[in-house]
């Protein structure tokens, strides 16, 4: 009986490779679960190609996924993950015998599981430190994308690979990278088509298309991983300073106005950069399509100031009292007020000090104690 | 001193004391809220602003005080119009009971400066000393300028029909600077001249009680005292003869 079984086993291995599965499992029974994997229809030797007969050597060369997945392997080979010590196929796709289709909700590369999979390294402070990687996992998980994907289960929300790619991840310094500065609008635009269209028609998009690498892209304002809802107060508070990072003079002059004074106290129902200039399709005032073109000012200011007329929009939300050439009346008003304040307060502060000294230390202070307040009724 | 003489004299009427309360209260409210707006870029100001309810509360309180102060101002102006225009109280326009500056005020000012340097005796002040008049006119014109520029910004789109919109830029500048001047004046000059100086320390309560003692009247307003004593006018302002509720 035993002999018959052995003979059958040997026949199975040597005679019919295609039907070998049950035979491998008679020794490797713990691998039976592989049937449930995406590779369940393949034979063992489909991957373990070096095993031709039984008994086989104890040591086997590693399975080469590239023998089937040559495209992905080639992409991985050119990616940032190709570096020595970088992740293998299985690092992301799960155990060798339990790989699931990316469409399977249990798969490690199912959209809502991707952040956790990448986070195994990129959310690990120790690994991040050793490889000098930014700790992006927690930032992403708290972002509008991370929240939508992992809390609300919105599969359309961007996961790591939506922006970075999967096998073909390149450093953002690489001009071909999806996250290279110049490619960011196209990458974000794969989902956010409307903003991309608006951005491309705006001055920032035009500059980028003209090759100006300093032109801001989506991430300059929205950040990369901690992207917040645009209605978020904290985001709005930060973004004025973000615009001002490039537009320094405009930020300075904005700060002199009531809009900024109110804004600094955390009040959001006041004009910030984008309320007047637009968001994605910002155009210079010289462009007739601009929200701040002279023909559009009444409409733009009128969003908050009902009844705004041609005279009202002569108010300059970036007036600069130091600029005598453009704002002579404001400039000389400021000079006058400064002189008035300095002279009046300066003189009468001195008046106060002199009076105090005279009253406190003058001869009458000692000579006429009856005038002290205690004696008065 | 004759014991029969009253020892206290009325300096401010009850209405004047109420108006001063309204002025002082709304001014402090306006300054407290306005300065937070003017210096909103400072982190510690932002902390205070958060603690008092944020910008919404600050602006509401600022406008609330502004309306009350406007009413106070208009009551005072209406009173002046009534007393000068209808009751023909010309003494409000000229003389010792008027706030209009006189030559004596200029002499008193230089006389006081001399006294500071021990170059002469302290001038003999009448009912209103030169710093009282500076207080009065500073507040008067300050209210007019700060009030007008404030309302111009509050109702910007309406005022822009009357004035060029670019004046609203100047309105914000003047509103803020004039307010700093007013606040500086009150805290550095008015509080010292009226309350904190050693002769009056810690406070001159006359503006709240309406009355001052004979000694105070003689010492602080010698010219007024002697003028009234000579003309027999002292009895008219004696507290005993003016039993107004206080």
Answer whether A373 touches B (CB < 8 Å): yes
Q: How many CB atoms lie within 10 A of CB B84?
A: 14
Which residues of chain B from 20 to 49 reach within 8 Å of chain A, CB to CB?
36-38, 40-41, 46, 49
Q: Smallest CA–CA separation between A228 and chain B, in Å?
A: 23
Give the residue on A whose Cα is nearest the Cα of B181: A341
Average pLDDT for B131-142: 94
CB contact under 8 A, B55 and A365: no
Q: Is B173 in contact with A337 (Cβ distance < 8 A)?
A: yes
Q: Flag if A333 and B174 touch (Cβ within 8 Å).
A: yes
- Range with the largest mean pLDDT of A15-19, B131-135, B192-196: B131-135
Cβ-defined contact of A356 to B201 (cutoff 8 Å): no
Tokens 């995406």 -> residue: A38
Cβ atoms of residues B20 and B210 within 8 Å: no
Backbone angles phi, psi at B116, to 5 degrees: -55, -40
A305·B116 Cβ contact <8 A = no
Report the greatest alpha carbon distance in chain B. 66
For chain A (377 residues), the mean pLDDT of every run of 10, in chain order, is: 48 44 76 86 86 82 88 92 87 89 93 93 86 86 93 94 94 94 96 96 95 93 91 86 93 91 87 93 94 95 93 93 94 96 96 91 58 42
| Residue ranges of domains in chain B | 8-241
CB A313 within 8 A of CB A251: no
pLDDT at B244: 52
Is A271 in CB contact (< 8 Å) with chain B?
A: no
The fraction of chain B above a pLDDT of 90, given in percent, is: 70
* B165–A264 CB contact, under 8 Å: no
- CB nearest to B219's CB, from A314, A330, A371: A371
Q: Hey, CA dihedral for B232, B236, B241, B246, is it positive or negative?
A: negative
Average pLDDT (B30-57) is 92
Residue of chain B nearest A371, judged by CA positions: B199
For residues B128 and A250, give the distance between their C-alpha atoms in angstroms, rounded to a whole number. 50
pLDDT at residue B56 is higher than 70: yes
Q: Which residues of B touch A308 (CB under 8 A)?
A: 157, 160
User: Distance between CA A255 and CA A320 in Å, rounded?
Assistant: 10
Inspect the interface and report whether the beta carbons of A312 and B156 lie closer than 8 Å. yes
Q: Are strands B211-213 and B8-10 parallel, antiparallel or unpaired?
A: antiparallel
Contact A329 B161 (CB under 8 A): no
Q: What is residue A272's predicted lDDT score, i.e. its pLDDT?
A: 92
Out of B36, B157, B201, the one facing A306 most closely (by C-beta) is B157
Chain A nearest-CA distance from B84, in A, is: 31
pLDDT of residue A365: 55
What would the mean pLDDT of B204-212 be, rounded to a whole number? 89
Question: SS3 for B8?
Answer: strand
**A338 touches B at CB < 8 Å:** yes
| Number of CB pairs, chain A paired with chain B, less than 8 A apart | 146
Residues 6+ positions from A108 with CB-CB distance below 8 Å: A92, A93, A94, A100, A114, A116, A117
Q: A193-225 burial, b if ≥16 CB within 10 A, otherwise e?
A: eebbebbbebbbbeebeeeeeebbbbbbbbbbb
State the DSSP H helix or E strand holding residue B211, giving kind and residue range, or none if neither.
strand B211-213
Q: How far is A157 from A192, CA to CA, in rounded Å?
A: 11
Give me the pLDDT at residue A19, please.
43
Query: May I ask the CATH class of domain B8-241?
Result: mainly alpha
Average the pLDDT over B7-13 and give the result.
89
- Torsion angle defined by CA atoms of residues A39, A42, A43 and A48, in that order, rounded to the nearest 10 degrees: -60
Q: At what angle do helices B54-80 and B130-154 cross, to 10 degrees?
A: 130
Task: Name the minimum distance, in Å, from the CA of B12 to any CA of chain A.
Answer: 18
Task: Please name the residue ranges forming H helices in chain B.
Answer: 14-38, 43-51, 54-80, 103-116, 130-154, 156-159, 166-184, 206-209, 214-220, 222-231, 234-237
Question: pLDDT by residue (tens digit) across B62-112?
Answer: 999 999 999 999 999 999 999 999 999 998 998 888 999 999 999 999 999
Q: Note whether A252 contacts B: Cβ–Cβ < 8 A.
A: no
Decide if A35 touches B, using CB distance below 8 A. Answer: no
Place of tokens 């009056």: B200
Any A CB within 8 A of B53 CB: no
- The residue in chain B having the minimum alpha-carbon distance to the alpha carbon of residue A355 is B116
> Any CB–CB contact under 8 A between A314 and chain B?
yes
Closest Cβ opposite residue B58 in set A265, A355, A365? A265
Distance, in Å, from the CA atom of A152 to the CA atom of A229, rounded to the nearest integer, reads: 15
The beta-carbon neighbor of A265 closest among B54, B172, B213 is B54
Instruction: State the pLDDT at residue A370.
Output: 43
* DSSP H/E element including A139: helix A137-141
Contact B46 A264 (CB under 8 A): yes
Give the gap in angstroms from C-alpha B166 to the nearest C-alpha of chain A.
4
A265:B178 CB<8 A? no
Residue A144 CA to residue A232 CA, distance in Å, equals 10
Residue A128: half-sphere exposure toward Cβ, Cα within 13 Å: 13
Q: What is the ipTM of this complex?
A: 0.89
What local confidence, expressed as pLDDT, does residue A373 receive?
Answer: 45
Query: Rounded to 5 degrees, what angle do the CA atoms A247, A252, A253 make?
Result: 100
- Measured in residues, chain A has a length of 377
């Amino acid at each position: 009986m035993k002999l018959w079984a052995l003979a059958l086993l040997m026949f199975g291995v040597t005679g019919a490779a295609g039907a070998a599965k049950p035979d491998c499992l008679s020794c490797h029974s713990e691998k039976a679960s592989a049937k449930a994997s995406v590779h369940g229809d393949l034979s063992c030797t489909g991957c373990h190609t070096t095993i031709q007969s039984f008994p086989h050597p104890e040591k086997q060369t590693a399975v080469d996924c590239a023998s089937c997945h040559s495209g992905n392997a080639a992409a991985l080979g050119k990616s940032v993950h190709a570096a020595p010590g970088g992740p293998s196929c299985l690092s992301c796709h799960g155990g060798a015998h339990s790989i699931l289709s990316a469409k399977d909700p249990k798969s490690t590369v199912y959209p809502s599981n991707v952040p956790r999979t990448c986070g195994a390294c990129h959310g690990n402070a120790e690994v991040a430190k050793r490889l000098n990687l930014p700790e992006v996992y927690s930032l992403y998980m708290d972002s509008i994308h991370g929240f939508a994907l992992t809390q609300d289960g919105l599969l359309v929300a961007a996961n790591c690979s939506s922006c970075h790619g999967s096998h073909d991840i390149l450093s953002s310094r690489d001009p071909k990278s999806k996250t290279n500065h110049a490619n960011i609008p196209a990458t974000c635009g794969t989902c956010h088509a409307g903003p991309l269209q608006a951005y491309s028609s705006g001055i920032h998009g035009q500059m980028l298309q003209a090759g100006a690498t300093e032109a801001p892209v989506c991430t300059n304002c929205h950040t990369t991983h901690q992207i917040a809802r645009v209605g978020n107060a904290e985001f709005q508070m930060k973004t004025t300073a973000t615009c001002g990072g490039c537009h320094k003079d405009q930020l300075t002059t904005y700060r002199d106005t009531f809009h900024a004074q109110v804004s600094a106290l955390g009040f959001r129902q006041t004009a910030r950069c984008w309320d007047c200039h637009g968001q994605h399709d910002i155009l210079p005032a010289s462009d007739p399509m601009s929200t701040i073109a002279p023909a559009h000012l009444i409409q733009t200011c009128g969003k908050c100031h009902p009844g705004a007329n041609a005279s009202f929009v002569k108010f300059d939300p970036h007036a600069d009292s130091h600029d005598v050439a453009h704002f002579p009346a404001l400039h000389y008003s400021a000079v006058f007020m400064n002189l008035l304040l300095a002279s009046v307060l300066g003189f009468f502060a001195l008046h106060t000090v002199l009076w105090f000294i005279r009253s406190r230390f003058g001869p009458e202070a000692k000579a006429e104690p009856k005038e002290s307040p205690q004696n008065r009724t | 001193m004759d014991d029969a003489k009253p020892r206290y004299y009325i300096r401010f009427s009850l209405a004047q004391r109420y108006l001063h309360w309204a002025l002082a209260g709304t001014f402090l409210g306006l300054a407290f809220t306005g300065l937070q707006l003017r210096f909103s870029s400072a982190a510690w100001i932002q902390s205070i602003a958060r603690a008092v309810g944020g910008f919404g509360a600050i602006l509401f309180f600022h406008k609330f005080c502004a309306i009350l102060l406007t009413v106070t101002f208009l009551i005072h102006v209406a009173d002046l119009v009534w007393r000068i225009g209808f009751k023909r109280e010309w003494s409000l326009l000229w003389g010792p009971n008027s706030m209009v500056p006189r030559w004596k005020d200029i002499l008193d000012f230089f006389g006081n400066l001399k006294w500071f340097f021990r170059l002469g005796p302290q001038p003999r002040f009448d009912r209103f000393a030169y710093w009282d008049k500076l207080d009065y006119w500073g507040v008067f014109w300050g209210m007019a300028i700060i009030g007008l520029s404030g309302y111009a910004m509050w109702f910007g789109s309406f005022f822009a029909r009357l004035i060029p919109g670019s004046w609203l830029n100047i309105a914000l500048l003047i509103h803020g600077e004039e307010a700093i001047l007013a606040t500086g004046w009150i805290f550095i000059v008015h509080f010292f001249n009226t309350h904190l100086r050693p002769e009056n320390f810690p406070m001159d309560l006359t503006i709240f009680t309406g009355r001052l003692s004979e000694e105070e009247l003689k010492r602080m307003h010698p010219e007024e005292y002697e003028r009234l004593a000579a003309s027999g006018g002292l009895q008219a302002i004696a507290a005993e003869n003016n039993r107004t509720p206080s």
